Amino acid sequence: MTEKSKFQTVVREIMATSVTRVVLSILLGFFFGGIFMVLFNENVVATYSTLFTTPGDTFVAAFNTIVDGYGALLRGAIFNPEGRDLVAMFRPITETLRMAAPLVMAGLGLALGFRVGLFNIGGTGQIVMGLAGATWVATRMELPPVIHMIVAVIAAVVCAAAWGAFAGFLKARTGAHEVIVTIMMNYIALDFFTWMLRTKGLLLAATGGGTPKSDPPAATSMLPTLFGDMYKIHIGIFIAIAATFAYWLLMERSAIGYRFRMVGHNANAARAAGIKVESTFVWAMAVSAAFIGLAAANQALSNPGGITTSLNADIGFDAITVALLGGNSAKRIAAAGLLFGAFKAGSPAMQVVGVSPEILGVVQALIVLFIAAPPLIKAMLRLPEPAAEQKVVA
């Protein structure tokens, strides 16, 4: 077994994790997250000095901290019974949906790449190139409403797809590993976009000085909000739902998807069966990045302030965890996106009760670790397949 195919086996096994194990990993993630929360909470730390005389204090403080912290997460992400009016009470769930939309879009894209055996770490770069395209259309072109928005979304998708396809082309042509290529291309994209934002006549705001920031996107190009000024949630969530359906159609019901999966399963067999593996790599990277481009459009066209590089909001990396959690199923990717969207929406509420939001990053990382660890450890220790062992015994 070569190193590369082993790497792909690991990714494939991670993607094939059963729902039960995913749910267990999530529960374990929250459990250990709670331990971290307790260890570093100042109320609990204050009871350490009396840990051996009145251990009850420590346990009560620890319990309260966990209830406070995860309670705040629920209040910030789903429903806030303490809200001042009904609008405020229901705001959290709309925020979760709003934050989840780009994670779902980008998660679908990365999952598609993984299933073709391409470990696309270039989500950030592809989002940033998408941002560049959308920003150009949204701030430098004048078009009628709706059409302007559609053109801006298409620009984001095309720019991101082209950036992804280039990485695929380098892999197909030169054999350069896509992990290295896409990571490096992230920096090129970030610096390129910053340069465009800094340069007068390109994307720099008309009133801007030395700060890399564009004009606000034209009103005609913005994604319309669903409830007017009441909530921030916009039609991005419907685009995410449509993207989930499109992903399912493409991967499960189309000939292209079949070819993608075949190359991902065994590139050599696919080649023997007459599939052009190299061009499939290029196309798969392009389609993968196209989904990520949707996330870019979502970010650029929903922010009434100017557009900056920081709007990529690390979605390119967060979406990797979404894709690994979501595995091979479109529905599961959407569910994973919702979970991490809830994390993003709930983190300010956790800060307010004094729990550092980094805890959520720890929980997120732990969940992925629990899912990814078994295949990884197996590959690292070169343990034999349990199934193969059984066969020998039988």
Partner 1 sequence: MNIITRNSAKFLSIAAVAALALSGCSAAAAPELDYKACAVSDEGSWNDKSFNQSVMDGLMKAKDELKVQTADAESNSAEDFAPNLQQMVDANCDITFAVGFNLVADVNAAAKANPDVKFVTIDGWSEGNANLKPVNYAMEQSSYLAGYAAAAYSTSKVIGTYGGMQIDAVTAFMDGYYYGAQAWAADNNTTIKVLGWDPAKKTGDFMGDFTPNSAVSKTIAATQIQGGADVILPVAGDQFGAVSEALDEAGSAGVMIGVDKNIALTSPEYADKMLTSIEKRMTTAVFDIIKGIAVDKVDFSGDAYLGTLANGGTALSDSDKITGDLKTKLDELSAGIQDGSISVRP
**Smallest gap from residue 352 Cβ to partner 1 (A):** 4
Q: Are 183 and 121 in contact (CB under 8 A)?
A: yes
Q: Are 354 and 348 in contact (CB under 8 A)?
A: no
Using CB under 8 A, which of 27, 35, 88, 377 touches partner 1?
A: 88
- SS3 string, 159-228, reads HHHHHHHHHHHHHHHHCCCHHHHHHHHHHHHHHHHHHHHHCCCCCCCCCCCCCCCCCCCCHHHCCCECCC
Residue 123 touching partner 1 (CB under 8 A): no
User: Residue 161 corresponds to which tokens in the numbers above?
Assistant: 């797809």
For residue 309, give the nearest of 200, 187, 213, 217 by alpha carbon.
Answer: 213
- Contacts with partner 1 by CB under 8 A: the residue count is 50
Using CB under 8 A, which of 4, 23, 54, 268 touches partner 1?
A: 54
Q: With residue 336 as reference, give the H or E element that holds it.
A: helix 330-352
Q: Are 337 and 326 in contact (CB under 8 A)?
A: yes
Residue 67 touching partner 1 (CB under 8 A): yes
Residue 83 touching partner 1 (CB under 8 A): yes
Calpha distance 361→341 (Å, rounded): 12
**Considering beta carbons, is residue 71 or 374 the nearer one to partner 1?**
71
Calpha distance 38→193 (Å, rounded): 41
With contacts defined by CB under 8 A, name the span among 67-75, 109-117, 148-156, 366-374 that binds partner 1: 67-75
**Considering beta carbons, is residue 280 or 298 the nearer one to partner 1?**
298
- 378 Cβ contact partners less than 8 Å away, ≥ 6 residues apart: 13
Residue 226 touching partner 1 (CB under 8 A): no
**Considering beta carbons, is residue 102 or 107 the nearer one to partner 1?**
102
Residue 278 touching partner 1 (CB under 8 A): no
**Smallest gap from residue 348 Cβ to partner 1 (A):** 4
User: Residue 272 corresponds to which tokens in the numbers above?
Assistant: 């023997």
Sign of CA dihedral 235, 241, 244, 248: negative
With contacts defined by CB under 8 A, name the span among 38-46, 156-164, 177-185, 248-256 that binds partner 1: 38-46
Residue 210 touching partner 1 (CB under 8 A): yes
**Considering beta carbons, is residue 138 or 270 the nearer one to partner 1?**
138
Alpha-carbon distances, residue 145 vs 76, 109, 153, 217 (angstroms)? 34, 28, 13, 12
Buried-state track 80-93, b at ≥16 Cβ within 10 A, e below 16: beeeeeeeeebbbb
**Considering beta carbons, is residue 252 or 358 the nearer one to partner 1?**
358
Using CB under 8 A, which of 10, 61, 137, 322 touches partner 1?
A: 61
With contacts defined by CB under 8 A, name the span among 4-12, 77-85, 173-181, 240-248 that binds partner 1: 77-85
Phi and psi angles of residue 369, each rounded to the nearest 5 degrees, phi first: -60, -45
- Please give the residues from 283 up to 322 whose contact with partner 1 meets the rule CB under 8 A: 303-305, 308, 310-311, 313-314
With contacts defined by CB under 8 A, name the span among 4-12, 45-53, 270-278, 286-294 that binds partner 1: 45-53
**Considering beta carbons, is residue 43 or 328 the nearer one to partner 1?**
43
Mapped onto helix, strand or coil, the DSSP state of residue 386 is helix
**Smallest gap from residue 30 Cβ to partner 1 (A):** 18
Phi and psi angles of residue 85, each rounded to the nearest 5 degrees, phi first: -150, 180
Residue 55 touching partner 1 (CB under 8 A): no
**Considering beta carbons, is residue 54 or 279 the nearer one to partner 1?**
54
- Please give the residues from 227 up to 246 whose contact with partner 1 meets the rule CB under 8 A: 229, 232
Q: Are 346 and 76 in contact (CB under 8 A)?
A: yes
Residue 94 touching partner 1 (CB under 8 A): no
Residues found near partner 1 in the complex (CB under 8 A): 42-43, 45-47, 49-50, 53-54, 57, 60-61, 64-65, 67-68, 71-72, 75-76, 80, 82-84, 88, 91, 95, 194, 198, 209-212, 229, 232, 303-305, 308, 310-311, 313-314, 345, 348-349, 351-353, 357
